[in-house]
């Protein structure tokens, strides 16, 4: 049974001084050797501590998309847990999606948000719509596709002022990413919200977008 309630992750202010990093990247962040998350992306490092995201993106927002109860048979009885799907983003080009499974709802939400932070990615903006060609970074530069399970999502650049044309969960994710105008098309079992969001996630981090951004950066040098 799928459930969607008004559960919101608790917003607590991150204290970098009380944080004891365990990884090399975390130590560099605390020592202010790394001052933006883009440095980590450019170096190709992995984010193994969510505190890194908390330190570098203090205005990160999160939203719970789905809460579902799942059951597993054991030798003695049925064991029930809650599976939560959550998204995070700052509205400025960073977004992540994650899921968590725990016996209590709050613990499942915390785990889902933590996993979403650990998988945060940069979103590349542009104006790739032939109907617009305004040159501002309000949409995406090219058409991209993402797939997860039976779900396939296609993201297309849209003209300025159109807005985010998407279903509820996908719209929330793209708005948290900071995309202002975009066309989205999906097919498959789109009722599976986690698979749909992962397909969007994979489209946003696709090789085509990364190559396009590298070409633009090379031209501007």
Long-range contacts of 146-149 (CB under 8 A, 24+ apart): 146/198, 146/199, 146/200, 146/201, 146/202, 146/203, 146/204, 146/206, 147/199, 147/202, 148/195, 148/196, 148/198, 148/199, 148/202, 149/188, 149/189, 149/192, 149/195
Express each pLDDT in 133-146 by its tens digit: 788 889 999 899 99
Q: For 131-182, write each residue's pLDDT tens digit.
A: 887 888 899 998 999 999 999 999 999 999 999 999 889 999 999 999 999 9
Count of domains observed in the chain? 2
Q: Establish if 60 belongs to a structural domain.
A: yes
Inside any domain, residue 131: no
Q: Considering the domain boundaries, does residue 7 fall inside one? A: yes
Full domain range(s) for residue 106: 2-122
93 and 156 both lie in a single domain? no
């Amino acid at each position: 049974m799928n459930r969607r309630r008004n559960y919101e992750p608790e917003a607590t202010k991150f204290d970098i001084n009380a944080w004891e990093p365990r990884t090399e990247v975390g130590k560099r962040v605390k020592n202010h050797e790394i001052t933006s998350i883009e440095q980590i992306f450019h170096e190709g490092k992995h984010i193994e501590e969510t505190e890194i995201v908390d330190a570098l993106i203090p205005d990160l927002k999160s939203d719970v998309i789905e809460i579902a109860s799942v059951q597993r048979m054991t030798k003695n009885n049925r064991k029930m847990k809650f599976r939560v799907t959550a998204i995070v983003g700052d509205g400025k080009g960073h977004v992540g999606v994650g899921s968590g499974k725990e016996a209590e709802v709050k613990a499942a939400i915390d785990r889902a948000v933590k996993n979403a932070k650990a998988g945060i990615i940069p979103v590349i903006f542009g104006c790739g719509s032939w109907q617009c060609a305004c040159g501002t970074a309000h949409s995406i530069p090219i058409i991209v596709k993402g797939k997860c399970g039976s779900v396939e999502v296609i993201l297309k650049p849209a003209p300025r002022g159109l807005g985010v044309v998407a279903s509820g969960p996908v719209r929330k994710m793209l708005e948290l990413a900071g995309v202002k105008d975009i066309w989205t098309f999906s097919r498959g079992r789109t009722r599976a919200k986690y698979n749909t969001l992962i397909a969007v996630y994979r489209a946003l981090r696709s090789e085509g977008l990364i190559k396009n951004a590298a070409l633009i950066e090379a031209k501007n040098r």
